[in-house]
Structures are given as structure tokens and as C-alpha cells.
Structure 1
């Protein structure tokens, strides 16, 4: 075996004791030592010569591929594994043999339903090959990739604007298609900005307070804020933030709900209420002031008893004034009830 011979030659070159003459014994000793080392490997290991004949096959190789060494040593590798001829095993082994350069690769071996990581080392008379089972690692990676794809699909297909930002730098880390469409920035523009750049300048101080609270709490939070679109439009939004790890970076995922229509309607309602208050005040003060003057004049006329004809007129004037007063009071009450 090539690896035994190389180890033997390296070791015998260090000996100068003339009594060590039995090279066959020395070779056998080191062959045993190297074999013990190779058999202790947790990786599969085998060797082939330049004719692709298997010259060594360790215990782990037996266990991984379910082929005993006494059934494969001395046989052509490709006769034992004809399925491998169509895979990387064949092309990479041949390249390493022809160029005398080492190589490392991963490949799926479908007859065993296993993934292998393979390291190939030319030794001048063939190849020394180490391989390990990485099936579980591959499955874990595939599951992780599947979860990432689900996240990407949910993220991008969400009809509500969503983004992820760095909790420290406040830079956008990711943004979905709905945010791009709603706010007017391209994905590249978003990723070159921080979240402060979509806020009105006059709101920065207030937003900084909210962000500090978010950073300290590390909990999901909901806030009402104002955002600026690329075209300058100002919108009112309810943002819901959740802490996440994004590619190893502490971050927050934001879902933004446009509340502009509702808030503008509320502002219009408040304006109407203010107008009604103004009307109520006018009714209660401006209209009742001349009415109070009329009632005062009636009182003066009542004091004049000299003209009996005034009595009927005074009574009629008094009745009309009181009726008008009741109308004003009723209107004011109705307005107040509407405001409530």
C-alpha cells in the first residue's frame, strides 16, 4: 500500500542503528502502525492505484458503504460502483489522478441515499481518498433553506408593507414588494437608506424616543407614526415591530398599516366638532344677547301702566321672546348631544 510504503521510507531514513537490518520486519511494524491509525479514523478511507484497483479499505468505509474489505480489495473501483461513473466521484477522481493535484467536493450518492464530503490526495502511485457522511448536515441545510424560502414567500407576498431594519444602525436590511410599491423607492434605494429617512424631519425627535424604548424593551410594540413617500406624500401609519435575528444581526421586522384615510376622517370629524362648538357658542351668546335686550325693554314697558293698550302688546311680545328663548335652548341642547 502506497501510504504504508511512504511512511516506512520516511521513518527508516531516520534510523542509523546498524543492527536494524531486517527491513521486512521494519516495514511490517510500520504497516501495522499505519493500519491501526487508518482503522481508527472516523472518516471512511481507501486507496486505489493508477489502474483504479482498490488497495486499501478501512473499517469506516465498510460501515458507511456496507461493503466488506475482502470483497472490494483487488477489484476495479468503477466495476464495484458503476453508478458513480455519472457523478462527481468519477470526474473528480480522474482529474486528481491526471493533474496530480488534491481536490475536495461534496456529492450525493443516490444508491445509498447519502451525501458525502470527499477529499482526494494523489500519492504518485494512485489516490488516497477520505470521505465522510454529511447527510444530516445536508438535510439540516435543506430544511433551513426551505424555511428561508417560506419566510421569503410570506414576506414578499404579504399585501402589507414590511421591512427589516438593523436595531443599531437603523439601516434597512430587507424590504418586501408591497413596501416598494407603496412608498415608491426601489429595493436598492431602500437598502441604501435608514428608517429615519422615511420620517418627516419634525418627527425625528419623537421617533428617537420610541426607538430608544424599543431597543430597551426588546419586545413587540405598536406605534402610530407618520411616513414620507418618495414623492413627498405624507401618510399616517400604524407600525407593528417584532424583534428578530436577520443573518446574525439583531433586527426588527416591521409591518406598516396605512391609516391615512381613517385618521384624515377623524381629523375632519374633529374639525366639524370644533365648528359645532363655535355654532353653539354663537347660539348661546350672540343670539341670546339681543333677546335679553328685548326682554329688558319689555320689563320697562310693563312698568308703564298709563296706557292700557300696552298691556296686550307687552304680553304678546313677552310670549314671543320666551318662545324664541326656548328654541335657542333646545337647539343648543341638540347640538351638545350631537357633539357627545
Structure 2
């Protein structure tokens, strides 16, 4: 059975502090039983299901009778909204002449006018109860509809498929006997004010945490981007500075450099004639292809840890001043 659509909305409105009196706290389902006989085969067709919902103002009691529909049975006239609407109630052929007409129940479609008007028109035609079936254009759900001023009439609502199931044999002129009985009671407890406050605080806390995380994320992203930009700029400056270091082609006549005894501290190989070397400000000598990548990554002498950029800047300034 489909739960009333209004219940979820009532729960939301209650959480937002709307008055409870505007929404039902209790509703009742209805058992709907039908029986008829197929004229061609004499087969008895029975159906029984807890498929209806009593209206808010409806008496919660049982009722039974033959099913009647607005005269003509056309889709546009099934709503029973015309003030002069007449009902067709197929009656059993065995009814004796002059016998009082048995109780009957009006079957009408939802829409076209207010529920109060539908009920009023049917009651004036002596209907014992009114069954309203939903239309797919309204969402095809059942709900405990409001119908003030008609509290003496049993009113239930059924879904569209159930309405079509009842309507089909009646439109063929077959008497359909319907019995409506009270089903289960359903209760909806609203969220208390304390619970609503707790939910609101939890949502606000989650929003604050999410906002703080976003701020932290974008700050880190900004710092990372700035750091990368700074590193690229420093690397360019380092490349320029390394280009200012002294290059030297090794030969055996170099004073102060014993090519047979001296070696590169990075690759641990002796300097050979015609090797290209760099001389750092600290006077340590290395192969060019060994020391350049090292300086790009570390900016210090591999042997004495001298900051080459600082020393080179002072050194270049001193050379430029002479």
C-alpha cells in the first residue's frame, strides 16, 4: 500500500516549525472488496485488498452497496462535478418490482471540482458512500483527502489501477457489489523541537566544516602554485648564475692543477687533458657535466657546502667592480 503523500510534507513542515493542526497525525486504510458475475460464463470474480484510504472527515466505518457511476461513463464525465449529474447503478435482474433500491456507492474520478462538491452531488442522489479514484496526472497516489462539511458520508480514495478495475465491469452494465471496511490505523509522529534543533545544528556544523575545508584547499592550492612559480623563477636565476662561473679546459701546463693527482669529487675520475671543468668561488674544481646538474638541485659546493649563489653574487659583484 502506498503511504500518503502528505505525510512526508507534514514531517518536513513540522521540522520547520509549521503548526501541527494543519496536517493529520493519524490516518486509516480501508479494505475494498468487490464481487460480480460475468454474464457470459457465470464466473464469479472477487477482489479484496487493503487498497484505500479514508478521508480526513470520513466516518471510519464499514459500508456496502452496488457501485454506481456518473451517467454516460465518458472519461470527461466521470468526475461527477455537474450539479445535475445523474448516476447509473446496474441492479441485479432478480430484484422484484416495487422493492426498495439497494444501497449504492458512487465511484468518481479525482479532479474537475472540489471533493466537497463531488460528495454533495452523490449524497443528494442517496449514495451511501463515495469512492474517489486517482488519475495519473495527479501522481496516482492515495492520500487522506480533506472534505470539510461532509462528515456524515464515508469517503475513501483508491489508486488509478484499482479504480479502473472497479469501473470496467460497471461500464459494461454488470452489477458490482462493493464492501468497504476499516483497515489499519497509521500514526505519524512529528520531529520534536529538540530533534529539529539537533538536526539544524548538525547541518550548520557540516556546512561550516565543508566551508573550512574548501578554504583550506584553495589556500594550499594557491601556496603550491606560488611555490612552483617561485621555484621556476629561482631555477632560471640559478641557471643564469651558473653561466657566470669560470669554465676551464684542462691541460698539463696548468699551474695549481695536477691533472694526474686531482679528480672530480662527484664522478671520482681524474681530470684529463681537454676536460671542461668549472671552478667554483671556493676554488674547488669539478667536471662541467657533473657540477651543473648538482648546482641546479642543491646550489652548494659538494665538498665544502658553500652557498654558490650567495658567494657567486658577491664574487661577480667584486669582479664587476674592478
Larger RCO, structure (CA 8 Å, separation 6 or more): 2
Shorter-chain TM-score range: under 0.3
Q: Hey, which of these two has a bigger chunk of helix by percent?
A: 1
TM-score by length of 1: 0.24
